[in-house]
């Protein structure tokens, strides 16, 4: 009998967990097998009551099959979520890839009305595609204000650099998102924008006084809470003026006194991933789950071991360390959120079997229009054909199919003008030599015309991979040696604007905040001759987007 009631308790606690799974069908295809639970484990977790799954990777067709299978494994309704901040294509192949939110922040500076319309369409695109694939909870919008250009993890993910832009755009995005019947999430509370280290690796400390936090960091969260955002994600962030001991994830003062009482939030409080370095370096995994739950978190994201998290929370409840009311309110908030999801059309048929394309015309237009609106380019004279040039491409990681396939414009367009591609990534032979003023080893590359393409943005986990100092010197070196014929930069506006300060005005360049093939194509069409653009953008008309 005791055993029975323990099992019931464990099953209730399990509902509060979100476990991580690959969006790929097969275990062997998992991209992060250390973190992504195998299919058989996933099934048994869901059968004992685990209440949510966060998905990453794979094709949209796999995602649809996954969401259906995962829901089938559970006897109750489950939360199916993903970090979709920049279009479904950011996480799942075949979905639409949009430029990052910061691009809309830039449009907002010039034309707020236009930017707000775009942001709402952006939310509709994310919400619609997520729902059609079977997800019901989108972990967006990011409500952080990127006040620190050197922020290694938020950066382009933010909607802007000051609170009112972020509030306005995140709200517009949110309206679009929730119109599609999925849950939303404001993150990372109380604000990750001024961090200077990556919380995936270490715990950032943000030492602002309370007044500044109220007047800046909290503004977008306050607005989103008024908009009825479904959930707020607590960041792994230490704000000593709010709580000198605990990161927000574990802080009653931040989650209860600030978020619930002062801001009046009544939805789900969810933690950021409990397996992130900021947490695991400082406390054991069972204790992390209990501390977050005790402090007021209703849903626990990605505990390293779901069993340990469940057991530790059960122990804390049974021992009286945490009152039962905590469990009751968390379950109630989860149930209230689930009620808002439209589960009505019981998914027995594949969407894709009847509709081979996910992206609709509106979304395709939005995608290309946003690339067009955020492109920066200067080109007095198109880059001429050469006999033996180098298309020198720098990327942060192994060439990925979403960015660089054989057929990517970043390879094919310069190639048709005589530039052979040379891709430099962390796993390739280095192009650098030990000479600060002339860091590029030109002997190795050959003294030939060089077209330079750099893909770089603040990426989680990667840290400060982009060596600014070296690139600044390299660009000056190439100019001195009269080898640089052009530059395309995809990603961080901050890194780009530093580089352009060094560029000779005669050197043609293009910049896009997006890195996807559509962005490459448009950026390069500005620089190279005689290339047919696949995606002509008609004149923009605000009535193109109708509610």
By annotation, the residues acting in catalysis are 200, 272
Task: Out of 30, 157, 192, 334, name the contact with its own copies by CB under 8 A.
Answer: 30
Is residue 253 within the footprint of its own copies (CB under 8 A)?
no
Residues near its own copies (CB under 8 A), total? 50
CB 464 to its own copies: min, Å: 19
Is residue 283 within the footprint of its own copies (CB under 8 A)?
no
Restricting to residues 147-186, name those near its own copies by CB under 8 A: none
Is residue 4 within the footprint of its own copies (CB under 8 A)?
no
Is residue 530 within the footprint of its own copies (CB under 8 A)?
no
- Per-residue interface string for the shown chain with its own copies, residues 372-411, x marking contact by CB under 8 A: -------------------------xxx-x--xxxx---x
CB 462 to its own copies: min, Å: 12
Contacts of 32 (CB under 8 A, 6+ apart): 22, 56, 57
- The whole-angstrom separation of Cα 423 and Cα 405 is 12
Contact yes or no for 98/85 (Cβ under 8 A): no
Contact yes or no for 414/382 (Cβ under 8 A): no
- The whole-angstrom separation of Cα 136 and Cα 51 is 13
Q: Is the dihedral of CA 490, 493, 495, 500 positive or negative?
A: positive
- The whole-angstrom separation of Cα 16 and Cα 39 is 20
Which of 346, 271, 252, 261 has the alpha carbon at shortest distance from 309?
271
Which of 264, 239, 267 has the alpha carbon at shortest distance from 254?
239
Q: Which residue lies nearer to its own copies by CB, 395 or 526? A: 395
Task: Out of 23, 51, 94, 220, name the contact with its own copies by CB under 8 A.
Answer: 94
Restricting to residues 509-528, name those near its own copies by CB under 8 A: 517-518
Is residue 429 within the footprint of its own copies (CB under 8 A)?
yes
Stretch of 169-177, 429-437, 478-486, 491-499 lying at the interface with its own copies (CB under 8 A): 429-437
Is residue 505 within the footprint of its own copies (CB under 8 A)?
no
CB 13 to its own copies: min, Å: 28
- DSSP H or E stretch at residue 325: helix 324-340
Is residue 29 within the footprint of its own copies (CB under 8 A)?
yes
Residues pairing with 451 in the sheet? 391, 486
Q: Which residue lies nearer to its own copies by CB, 70 or 330? A: 70
CB 288 to its own copies: min, Å: 26
Q: Is the dihedral of CA 123, 125, 129, 131 positive or negative?
A: positive
- Please state, as a whole number, how many other Cβ atoms lie within 10 Å of the Cβ of residue 275: 18
- The whole-angstrom separation of Cα 317 and Cα 306 is 17
- DSSP H or E stretch at residue 419: strand 419-424
Task: Out of 422, 442, 502, 503, name the contact with its own copies by CB under 8 A.
Answer: 422
- Per-residue interface string for the shown chain with its own copies, residues 325-364, x marking contact by CB under 8 A: -----------------------xxx-xx--xx-x-----
Token couple for 96: 């639409």
Q: Which residue lies nearer to its own copies by CB, 92 or 159? A: 92
CB 502 to its own copies: min, Å: 23
CB 421 to its own copies: min, Å: 5
How would you write 130-170 as a 3-class SS string? Answer: HHHHCCCEECCCECCCCCCCCCCCCHHHCCCCCHHHHHHHH
Q: What is the DSSP letter of 27?
A: G
SS3 content of the chain, % helix, strand, coil (to 5): 40, 15, 45
Restricting to residues 31-70, name those near its own copies by CB under 8 A: 31-33, 39, 59, 61-62, 64-66, 68-69
- Per-residue interface string for the shown chain with its own copies, residues 440-459, x marking contact by CB under 8 A: ----xx--------------
Q: Which residue lies nearer to its own copies by CB, 424 or 503? A: 424
Contact yes or no for 280/304 (Cβ under 8 A): yes
Pairing of strands 52-56, 79-82: parallel
Q: Which residue lies nearer to its own copies by CB, 348 or 541? A: 348
Binding-site ranges for its own copies (CB under 8 A)? 25-26, 28-33, 39, 59, 61-62, 64-66, 68-69, 93-94, 348-350, 352-353, 356-357, 359, 397-399, 401, 404-407, 411, 421-424, 427-431, 444-445, 517-518, 534
């Amino acid at each position: 009998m005791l055993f029975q009631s323990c099992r019931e308790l464990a099953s209730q606690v399990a509902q509060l967990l979100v476990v991580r799974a690959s969006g790929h069908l097969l275990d062997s295809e998992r991209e992060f097998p250390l973190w992504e639970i195998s299919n058989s484990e996933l099934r048994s977790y869901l059968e004992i009551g685990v209440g949510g799954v966060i998905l990453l990777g794979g094709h949209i067709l796999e995602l649809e099959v996954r969401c259906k299978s995962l829901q089938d494994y559970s006897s109750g309704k489950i939360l199916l979520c993903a970090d979709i901040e920049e279009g479904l294509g950011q996480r799942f192949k075949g979905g639409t890839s949009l430029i990052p939110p910061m691009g809309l922040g830039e449009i907002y500076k010039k034309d707020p009305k236009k930017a707000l319309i775009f942001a709402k369409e952006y939310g509709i695109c994310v919400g619609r595609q997520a729902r059609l694939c079977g997800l019901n909870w989108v972990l967006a919008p990011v409500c952080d204000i990127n006040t620190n250009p050197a922020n290694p993890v938020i950066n382009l993910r933010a909607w802007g650099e000051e609170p009112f832009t972020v509030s306005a755009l995140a709200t517009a995005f949110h309206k679009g998102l929730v119109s599609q019947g999925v849950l939303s999430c404001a993150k990372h509370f109380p604000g990750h924008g001024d961090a200077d280290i990556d919380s995936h690796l270490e715990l950032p400390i943000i030492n602002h006084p309370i007044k500044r936090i109220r007047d800046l960091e909290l503004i977008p969260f306050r607005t989103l809470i008024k908009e009825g955002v479904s959930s707020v994600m607590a960041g792994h962030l230490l704000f000593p003026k709010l709580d000198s001991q605990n990161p927000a994830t574990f802080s009653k003062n931040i989650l209860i006194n600030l978020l619930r009482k002062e801001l009046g939030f009544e939805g789900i409080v969810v933690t950021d991933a409990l397996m992130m370095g900021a947490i695991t370096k400082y406390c054991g995994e069972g204790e992390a789950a209990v501390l977050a739950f005790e402090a007021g978190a209703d849903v626990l994201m990605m505990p390293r071991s779901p069993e340990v998290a469940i057991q530790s929370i059960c122990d804390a409840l049974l021992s009286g360390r945490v009152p039962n009311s905590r469990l009751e309110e968390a379950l109630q908030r989860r149930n209230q959120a689930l009620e808002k999801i439209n589960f009505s059309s019981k998914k027995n048929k594949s969407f894709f079997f009847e509709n081979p394309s996910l992206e609709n015309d509106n979304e395709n237009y939005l995608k290309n229009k946003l690339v067009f609106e955020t492109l920066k380019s200067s080109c007095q004279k198109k880059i001429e054909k050469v006999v033996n040039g180098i298309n020198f491409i720098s990327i942060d990681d192994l060439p990925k199919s979403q960015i660089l396939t054989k057929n990517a414009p970043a390879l094919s367009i310069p190639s048709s003008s005589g530039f052979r591609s040379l891709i430099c990534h962390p796993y390739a032979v280095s192009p650098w030599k030990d000479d600060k003023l002339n860091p590029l080893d030109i002997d190795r590359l050959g003294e030939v015309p060089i077209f330079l393409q750099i893909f770089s943005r603040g990426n989680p986990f990667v840290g400060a991979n982009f060596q600014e100092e070296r690139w600044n010197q390299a660009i000056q070196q190439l100019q001195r040696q009269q080898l640089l014929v052009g530059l395309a930069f995809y990603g961080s506006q901050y890194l780009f604007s530093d580089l352009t300060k060094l560029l000779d005005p005669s050197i043609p360049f293009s910049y896009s905040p997006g890195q996807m093939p559509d962005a490459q194509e448009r950026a390069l069409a500005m620089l190279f001759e005689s290339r047919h653009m696949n995606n002509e953008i008609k004149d923009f008309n605000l009535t193109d987007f109708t509610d």
